[in-house]
Amino acid sequence: MARIVAMSQSRTVSQSSELLAYLFEAWPETKKKQVRSWLKFGSVAVNGRVITQFDHRLKPGDKVLIRPKAFAAPETALPSGIRFRHEDADIIVIEKPAGLLSIASPSEPEKTVYVFLTEHVRQGNKLGRQRVWIVHRLDRETSGLMVLAKNEQAKRVLQDNWDAVEKKYFAVVEGFPPEKAGLFDSHLDESNPLKVYSAPENSETRHALTRYRVMKKGNATTLVELTLETGRRHQIRVQLADAGCPIVGDKKYGAQTNPIKRIALHAHSLRLIHPITGEEMRFESPLPGDLGRLV
């Protein structure tokens, strides 16, 4: 639990340094674990802007401030299981649990990331005008990192540049991919709202590229890391199924097993440019225990 610190806890940088190293030096009386929690939960501001990247470069004259806990991102999960990784005036980065929709569906209008995060930014005021904007979606049974915008400008900039965002996933698949590493290159027909298909290139298809590498092999399953070069609906799921190794639990695309009662897919890494400040931001979410046990 991050301790409350006074607004006067600020320092002026005298020589170039990475932020985490500077924090260790400037607050030697504070345990390193505590300092890292300041960064993680948004309590560190440089020149008035919240910074969470440990390797952010400081230059002489920069003002580093440790902000009160009340200004930091929440340290605990919401009742929905959503965990906060970063929040500032423009964006929120969360870890979405499996089983939670990104946006409403006819069968579930309320229990969604959008609804829970809108309630969060309104701070309990149901008549408040604050809201969040969905930048991208994760399937209901997919867990992991997700970015939301807190204003239309941030949403527009993020979506206009979404292909440039580095997005990596972990998947546990049935069987084994064709090689230890490679590239899935196909064309996907997304016209069916329920299921995506690979098809010969035509006016209805969209080009899909996914890089993959094998991380660990089990007896009948494989842990694979996938990097999206394009962002098509169900892209990873379709391409892994086409390769003969569907994701564990993904019955729609041919999986025969479902030991953890969900699709074994996790959004584990994001690298993006902040839509307003231009700062590079990187987030990682470890492999969930239920996926790890599969291999």
Catalytic residues: 139
What's the full length of the chain, in residues?
A: 295
**202 SS3 class:** coil
Kindly report the three-state secondary structure assignment for every residue of 27-59.
CCCCCHHHHHHHHHCCCEEECCEECCCCCCEEC
Q: Are 2 and 34 in contact (CB under 8 A)?
A: yes
Q: Are 172 and 291 in contact (CB under 8 A)?
A: yes
Q: Which amino acid is at 97?
A: P
Tokens encoding 113: 């990331």
Q: Can you tell me the distance from the alpha carbon of 266 to that of 142, in angstroms, rounded to the nearest whole number?
A: 6
- How many Cβ atoms from other residues are within 10 Å of residue 129's Cβ? 7
> Cα–Cα distances in Å, from 241 out to 90, 227, 255?
37, 16, 8
Non-local (6+) Cβ contacts of 218 within 8 A are: 294, 295
Nearest to 294 by CA among 215, 212, 182, 184: 215
Q: Are 137 and 114 in contact (CB under 8 A)?
A: no
Q: Can you tell me the distance from the alpha carbon of 115 to that of 102, in angstroms, rounded to the nearest whole number?
A: 9
